[in-house]
Amino acid sequence: MRKQPRHLLAKSSFFALLFALTLISCGPSDSEPLPVLGRPRFVNGDSIPHTIPDFSFIDQDSQVVNNQTFAGKAYVVDFFFTSCPTICPKTTAQMFRIYKKFENNDGIVLLAHSIDTKYDSVPVLKKYASKLGVKTDKWHFVTGNKDEIYGIADDYFSIAIEDPNSPGGYDHSGRLILIDKNRHIRSFCDGTDAKDVDRFMKDIQKLLDEK
């Protein structure tokens, strides 16, 4: 049997996730916690929620960023590249809105993965972050092994692939994804849609308010 390309698997997984979220959103009230998204695994009859695996990347200050970096914190994830001619400026602008809204809340940080590992070196990411005027400990722009970054995009139900037919040479998703302190996906939005990001920021606050 021919194996599906990774980006097609990611897309199909995302639409399954979107359908599940749509069903969930029709039921719970605003007082109920955000759902844990993703397909669970079953081990010895027990349901294990979808969990983001271990990772290790390098940020704009040449610091290692791994799961321990976010211990006890929620974080928002996206995938971008600094020379992107299409959606990245929009998604970065929306990530900046999130940064400003929760700048003084220690319970949430931001994580942006560059998918252009050839060009987006640490100095390039440093310059990009400096232009935004953001704090490194609040918003990490990371690079690393290409296969590891593209692989973990699948775990976030996002898309990141090299594609010479796409603008800038990469096909990627504009989704912003909310991860809780237990590495579970709790919400996502279209990072090019300000109204959807408004809804997403309410979800972030709801997660932060959970006991």
Residue ranges of domains in the chain, CATH in brackets: 4-209 (3.40.30.10)
pTM of the model: 0.86
- Residue 34 has a pLDDT of 96
- Residue 41 has a pLDDT of 80
- Residue 138 has a pLDDT of 98
- Residue 58 has a pLDDT of 98
Number of alpha carbons in the 13 Å side-chain half-sphere of residue 103: 8
Which spans in 77-145 are helix H? 88-101, 122-132
The residues of the chain scoring below 50 in pLDDT are 1-16, 18-28
Q: Is 96 left (phi over 0), alpha (psi -120 to 50) or beta?
A: alpha
- Residue 15 has a pLDDT of 45
**Cβ distance 80 to 142 under 8 Å?**
no
